[in-house]
Structure 1
Amino acid sequence: MEILRTENLYKKFNDVKAVNDISFNVSKGEIVGLLGPNGAGKSTLISIISTLLKEDSGQVYYKNINNHDKECLIKKELGLVPQDIALYTELSGYENLKFWGSLYGLKGARLKERIKIVSEIIGITDRLKDKVENYSGGMKRRINIGAALIHDPSFIILDEPTVGIDPQSRNHILDTVVNLSKEGKTIIYTSHYMEEVEYICTQIYILDEGKIIAKGTKEELIDEKHPNLESVFLNLTGKELRD
């Protein structure tokens, strides 16, 4: 079942084509990876999908409904994990989850239940009452993900959620994403680490200069003949594509 479809998306900032004729689709339960170097257009693309940014042209369909025809549908069902930490550091992890849950209308026993479930998912139950300012970078990233999961979204977008964190937290986040997919969640995951998307994603789209230059599994990507793919892959991994 198709959950998301984009058609010929364009977005320009001054003379820079940040998103340049991008079309792709995501099916229910998939983990789709958007892979590319910094500046490739990944964050701009997901900002358009999540309605934070208006495209110049093109269409985004969520469950076959145009985003701008019924914008509230995707907002209600979407859990967005931004690249920047979106937390109140002077509050505890618990208070942050409580705050974000209240914005989605959760309260009382239901809110407490979701905080308990989410804290177990992100593996931070024993530090939940500590202030976020005292968390490590990896713990802040986990709570950032928890805030996006608090309302039990069916569609989740994670924008480079492992940047600048320790290997243990990174592995925990990757395993969490896989487990969410097994529960039936549909996920878009952006990264500039090839090994991450190779590990968790069912489909990979490689972006460069605002365009999709290749798509498929890693094995399929190896057979791609796009002239820029070799250099982009080398930039992302430090290895030749066919190593």
Structure 2
Amino acid sequence: MLQESFDNVSTQLLSLYALHKYLSGNPQLTWVLEKNLGASLLLAGMHQENTVGYSSQLYGNTLLGVVELSRGLRAVYTQMPLIWKPGYFHRALNVMEKVSQMPGEIKITKDVIELLKSALESAILSEKEKVPSENDEVSEDTSMCPEDLEKTEAEMLPEYLTRFQELHEKLESLGKIETTDLLNLTTHLVLEKLPECEKPDIEKYEAQLKEWQSDEAGLIAREKEIREKLKIEYEAREAAKSSAQ
């Protein structure tokens, strides 16, 4: 999935199903896996305008927020087509807010909301348990840029949790929290949508494959022509040298 462009609907659906099926087993995740899974969920989910898509975006941003907080922003975007600006927990909350403002039946699944809540609470607890070192002292340097004085992600966590609670209550009051778990919703979506999109996607791929094969055949023929031409020119030069001697 690290190489997928997610242009085809069938790819989006199958990728989301594979991701949620894997995560439903509660695997032990390294931070690298959290980053890879988070990015895949986010990028695939952004193509689906439905409950599965927005819940996947929330899930992806949550995993990336955990990595950002524990490993730093560079660890998140290195070798990833992701935004370089901090604030993946903030983006997760933005997904909740966007869904709360949307008309229609799009919701956020309860299990993913609980995941974000747990991630925020665990992060706050972890920050409280950290023992300050001498290197953590606030600098008295008055020449610091305004950007340097902005709150870090760790310092924003209490505000994030407060905003989460407000958005949770808003979604609940609007009936926009889906109680069916995300894997079951994704499975249903795949069974419903895959048959209608799989055939055109396969036909599109086969057309691309024929085009690639035609290009490859043309390149091979062109290479053969150039080799033959160079061979003739070489033989002509060698003959000219022999005649001169």
Return the TM-score normalized by structure 1.
Answer: 0.24
Q: Which has the larger radius of gyration?
A: 2
- Which has more helix, going by share of residues? 2
Return the TM-score normalized by structure 2.
Answer: 0.24
